[in-house]
Structure 1
Amino acid sequence: MASLLQRRGVSSLLALLAGALTTLTFAPFDLWGLGPVALAVFYIVLQHINMRQTLWRGWLFGVGMFGSGASWVYVSIHDYGNTGGPLAIVLTGLFIVTMALFVMLPALLHRLCAASKLDIVAFAGAWALGEAFRSWAFTGFPWLFLGSAHVSSPLASLAPLGGVYLVSLVVSLSGALLARTLISRHWWLLAPLAVLWLIPLALPTQWARPVGDDVTVSLVQGDLAQLSKWTPDGQRDAVNTYFSLTRQQALDSDLVIWPETALPMLEQQAMPFLQRVQSTLPADSTLMTGIMQRDQNGMFYNSMIALGDTPGQYRKAHLVPFGEYLPLEPLLGGLLKIFNIPMGNIGAGSHDQPPLQAHGLRLGVAICYEIVYPDLVRQRAKNANALVTISNDTWFGHSIGPLQHMQMAQLRALENNRYLLRATNNGMTAIVAPDGRLQAQAPRFEPAVLNGTIRPMEGLTPFTKTGSWPALLLALLMLLCGGILRTHRRDQTAH
């Protein structure tokens, strides 16, 4: 077996396949136990190789991971981005091979500690730090974090303790321990592996408590065709659909929520219709909806507004590069025009916007892509007793993208022990309990109203109080321990 793995082609293929295996850990497959297995294979193929091979196999692992787990990018570019098939394939390929470069970082960091007796610890720290770097660099792409797959696994209680990075840290350490056990045949290493998975079972998943009365909520899902949504006919259909669904199934609710850009028009145009709907609701009820706003300077904002006794607004603060704004516009603007790639031009809201309020709820808001950022949502949750996210996952089509998106939203609810209301245009529309589990869910790809109840939650989880820094500091210490021991061992050998 050892000689077989030393063949470059075999190890390279294993790195690629191990990366692809990670996709099965996420929704809709939910085979979270394969996460440590994938990283065990990755650890093994990184053994006893030079720097060039380390970077190559790290990149191949990334190609496998993003090529399978983020394949929905093609659907967004081709089906809804007005981009031809060949160009969409090229752009999707460029996205995959570029994102794969980020996996070279943990492979490189592990390589620097590979001769240490604690290289399994360093490997885990390197992986967690690599995920954190990917969530930050170039505005970040925190998708396919291995910890996101563990909403319902034995490791779930680690999420409110230290967030997704702590869960990823334990998953990667489990993979390294499993690999080292197979390599060295030191079966006693299974003991610390078992401890890693047993200790979380004794930890609480709930650090916050419900207070106050139940609040009835209705999440309205219009299921409108994206490609015709912004036409005059599409605008009329949107108005009729959302008004009709609300009048028929949501009139008795304390809070009614429509999804991101539910009405495909600016706020000024939509306001008469929204006020009409608000007037049909009970006096103390609130209507919230996603809407496009334009300020006096002509800047557009992807927003959520609240009507009723406590009106308010939230403007999306973390925008999607190349989707809502163009990085390096002087350099890239002309290139996108040549290829006929459409671009948005949307402004960003501030990062310290207050929660929206309705019927005793203080709602921390995240619009679409924002929900995948753990520390952004954590900042919203500090001043809120519930969370709400609206999204237009129509861009993902029938791919696995919306299911992954939903799973990450569930983890945000678990990290902060808050009820989370998720209203989307065509699914996944759901009410998430504070333990991250789906309390109720609307059917996908059809008009629907999801009715349910939630309660305000008071109290902060350790993660909500401190954020990701404790977990990342632990990861850094683990990496440094491996590096220091390797340096010490090298110095002893030299003497």
Structure 2
Amino acid sequence: MVDTAGAPGGEPEAGTQPATTSTHPAIRPLWASLLTAVAAGVALLLSFPPYGQWWLAPAGVALLAAAIHGRRARAGAGLGFVTGVVLFMPMLSWTNLHTGYLPWTLLSVAEAGYLAAMGAAYAFAAPLADRRRALTPLLIATLWVAQEAARARTPFGGFPWAKLAFGQGEVPLLRWAVIGGAPLVTFMVALTGGLLATAVLTLLRRGVRTAPAVPVAWVAGAVAAAVAGTLVPTATPSGDTVTVAFVQGNVPRLGLDFNAQRLAVLDNHVRGTLALAERVAAGREKQPDLVVWPENASDVDPLRSRVAADQITRATEAIGVPILVGGVTGGSTDRTVRNIGVLWWPIGSGGGKTGPDLDQLYAKRHPVPFAEYIPMRTIARMVSKEVDRVSRDFEAGARPGVVDSGATVIGDVICFEIAYDDVVRDVVTGGAQIIAVQTNNATFNTAEAEQQLAMVQLRAVEHGRHALMASTVGVSAFVAPDGHVQDQTEFNTAAVVVRELTESTERTVATRLGYWPELLLTLLGLGLLAAAAVVRRRRTAA
């Protein structure tokens, strides 16, 4: 990483004086910036589950901005990349548990590349921030939103893991989700970090003795931004109540071979449902209106296997209510399959419905590349032979997962789809009164499951809905509309949990606005970059 001195934004050459037209000279040696970038990555990492030190997210943003400020774009890219690698390599380590180091490394490096681009953009725009110091926090915050917007969409549909918004748990900053969803939460976290960065940069430039009030004011602004979320009211559902149960059946063994004993996995979920039915019959548990099984609860095709269908019917007959079954079934061709959630009715239920209801079937709309389908399979095989475990590609479903169980309308979201803003919003605008996430974490670990649960927390606040996450192995939980986690289960255990939830048909501001907050904030960031280009051109001309 070389930051050639003497160019706009660089350090002056040895023995020369800084040019009077330079508005943002580097204010520390490059090695110090490198260490600061590493510290930024560590702080960001610790802000996410399983560590959960949410307050470190603004600190990480501030450290990265301080590391980059005053550098040329090339050095800014390098420093952003360092932060990204320090963040993503350990955070995504669960991806290498069963597929080897190379896929994990490639994914982490690809994700870090977006932080590199953001670092280059901030270094490029720093002259504008120096001229208008009040724009510094805004510049930092909008560039974070733009970076996350790009990462959520590219390549192959994107991978939006580690959005700043996904690490805010039950703290005030999360409440902004009810107004602007994940993009606004990210913006507020990064804005807080930008205010802290401005305080640090002011201290470095002017010194504590010469301008003590200025950095104190920026710090005060950061504190105000962090706690302002307490003034944002979360939604309170006011509809009817419905009793929902989830079954975490567990699997015979963790890893890629979790489904080698597919009938055993199905049997575990049937057994858990039968045990629940016994408790209900004995009066020890309230009768649920709906039971939710996780993704891959029946990897034996429930729509084609008589054995699987009989087992599921046995469970529905015992509990007496429909079960939302997570399963895998055939696709439109012999070479494809679908990851589905299908409502399964007990025999003789209301309306004469029996067995699988194909009108209430959701096929996953956003299959995971290189896990559920293999782009460029020949090239991918050179990276990892594990891709051949996906012998048939999962094809994407065509409609949102709005499932009417009679007692309530469930918004079905399968596994990683919870990370995608549009997938979740579509089920709410489609009429979902409760959000259900069917997931299978058997190939991962507790850290991945807790990171996913944090996303469910954000979605519950964003859309003002009770939500639940039902996993094969854990963690599973219910989440209230204020983001509070209830009845969280342990990892790699069997569990059945029943809870009464309140339905909601209201739409929050965030639900109504949809992608507009993200679009406007991204455009603002691009506008600031354009303004920075004008400043740089004028400075060069001078």
Task: Say if 2:248 is the partner of 1:210.
Answer: no
CA distance in 2, matches of 1:337, 1:38: 33
Q: Note closer, same or farther for the CA distance 1:485–1:326 as it changes in structure 2 (3 Å cut).
A: closer
**Paired positions, count:** 476
Q: Note closer, same or farther for the CA distance 1:99–1:469 as it changes in structure 2 (3 Å cut).
A: same
CA distance in 1, matches of 2:435, 2:190: 30
CA distance in 1, matches of 2:368, 2:126: 37
Task: Say if 2:218 is the partner of 1:183.
Answer: no
Match of 1:240 in 2: 267
CA distance in 2, matches of 1:450, 1:264: 22
CA distance in 2, matches of 1:142, 1:15: 21
Task: Say if 2:318 is the partner of 1:291.
Answer: no
Contact kept, 8 Å, 1:124 with 1:475, in 2: the verdict is no
Contact kept, 8 Å, 1:112 with 1:483, in 2: the verdict is no
Match of 1:222 in 2: 249
Q: TM-score, normalised by structure 2?
A: 0.82
The Cα offsets for residues 75-129 of structure 1, whole Å up to 9 and x where unpaired, read as: 142xxxxxxxxxx123322222222111112112212211012233212111110
CA distance in 2, matches of 1:350, 1:446: 31
Task: Say if 2:118 is the partner of 1:106.
Answer: yes
Contact kept, 8 Å, 2:413 with 2:437, in 1: the verdict is yes
- For 2:217, what is the secondary structure of its paired residue? helix
Structure 1 residues 117-126 or 165-174, which shifts more?
117-126
CA distance in 2, matches of 1:369, 1:475: 24
Alignment of 1:371-450 (within 5 A): 371-383=418-430, 384-398=432-446, 400-450=447-497
CA distance in 2, matches of 1:337, 1:109: 34
CA distance in 2, matches of 1:463, 1:211: 19
Q: Note closer, same or farther for the CA distance 1:339–1:403 as it changes in structure 2 (3 Å cut).
A: closer
Shift of 1:377: 0.4
CA distance in 2, matches of 1:278, 1:340: 36
CA distance in 1, matches of 2:451, 2:502: 26
CA distance in 1, matches of 2:386, 2:324: 38
Contact kept, 8 Å, 1:51 with 1:108, in 2: the verdict is yes
Contact kept, 8 Å, 2:72 with 2:124, in 1: the verdict is no
User: Paired residue for 2:67, among 37, 45, 60?
Assistant: 45
Letter matched to residue 392 of structure 1: N
Match of 2:411 in 1: 364
CA distance in 1, matches of 2:254, 2:222: 47
Bigger RCO (CA 8 Å, 6+ sep): 1
Structure 1 residues 381-390 or 192-201, which shifts more?
192-201
Shift of 1:465: 1.2
CA distance in 1, matches of 2:116, 2:323: 47
Contact kept, 8 Å, 2:289 with 2:407, in 1: the verdict is no
Stretches of structure 1 that go unaligned for 5 or more consecutive residues are: 78-87
User: Paired residue for 2:291, among 239, 243, 256?
Assistant: 256
Contact kept, 8 Å, 2:141 with 2:187, in 1: the verdict is yes
CA distance in 2, matches of 1:69, 1:182: 27
Alignment of 1:248-327 (within 5 A): 248-250=275-277, 252-267=287-302, 268-269=304-305, 270-282=308-320, 285-295=321-331, 297-298=333-334, 299-308=336-345, 309=350, 311=357, 312-327=360-375
CA distance in 1, matches of 2:363, 2:121: 38
Match of 1:35 in 2: 57
The Cα offsets for residues 216-263 of structure 1, whole Å up to 9 and x where unpaired, read as: 2221111112455434xx234334322222111245321111111112
Shift of 1:141: 0.8
Contact kept, 8 Å, 1:265 with 1:291, in 2: the verdict is yes
Contact kept, 8 Å, 1:114 with 1:486, in 2: the verdict is no
Contact kept, 8 Å, 1:418 with 1:433, in 2: the verdict is yes
Contact kept, 8 Å, 2:248 with 2:474, in 1: the verdict is yes
Q: Note closer, same or farther for the CA distance 1:254–1:201 as it changes in structure 2 (3 Å cut).
A: same
Task: Say if 2:177 is the partner of 1:149.
Answer: no
Structure 1 residues 161-170 or 438-447, which shifts more?
438-447
CA distance in 1, matches of 2:367, 2:332: 20
Letter matched to residue 102 of structure 2: V
Contact kept, 8 Å, 1:314 with 1:349, in 2: the verdict is no
Letter matched to residue 209 of structure 1: P
- For 1:454, what is the secondary structure of its paired residue? strand
Contact kept, 8 Å, 2:74 with 2:120, in 1: the verdict is no
User: How large is the Cα RMSD of the aligned pairs?
Assistant: 2.4
Letter matched to residue 103 of structure 2: L
- For 1:472, what is the secondary structure of its paired residue? helix
Shift of 1:373: 0.9
CA distance in 2, matches of 1:29, 1:76: 23
Shift of 1:354: 5.3
Q: Note closer, same or farther for the CA distance 1:340–1:324 as it changes in structure 2 (3 Å cut).
A: closer
The Cα offsets for residues 323-367 of structure 1, whole Å up to 9 and x where unpaired, read as: 0111123x5255367677533533333342351112431111111
- For 2:341, what is the secondary structure of its paired residue? strand
Shift of 1:486: 5.8
Structure 1 residues 289-298 or 133-142, which shifts more?
289-298
Q: TM-score, normalised by structure 1?
A: 0.90
Larger radius of gyration: 2
CA distance in 2, matches of 1:264, 1:361: 26
Q: Note closer, same or farther for the CA distance 1:455–1:346 as it changes in structure 2 (3 Å cut).
A: farther
Match of 1:140 in 2: 158
Q: Note closer, same or farther for the CA distance 1:188–1:290 as it changes in structure 2 (3 Å cut).
A: same
Contact kept, 8 Å, 2:141 with 2:188, in 1: the verdict is yes
- For 1:166, what is the secondary structure of its paired residue? helix
CA distance in 1, matches of 2:380, 2:142: 39
Letter matched to residue 188 of structure 2: V
CA distance in 1, matches of 2:147, 2:536: 25
Structure 1 residues 473-482 or 54-63, which shifts more?
473-482
- For 1:94, what is the secondary structure of its paired residue? helix
Shift of 1:414: 1.1
Contact kept, 8 Å, 1:220 with 1:449, in 2: the verdict is yes
CA distance in 1, matches of 2:383, 2:59: 41
Contact kept, 8 Å, 1:102 with 1:130, in 2: the verdict is yes
Contact kept, 8 Å, 1:379 with 1:464, in 2: the verdict is no
Match of 2:283 in 1: none
Match of 1:83 in 2: none
Contact kept, 8 Å, 1:293 with 1:300, in 2: the verdict is yes
Contact kept, 8 Å, 2:374 with 2:387, in 1: the verdict is no
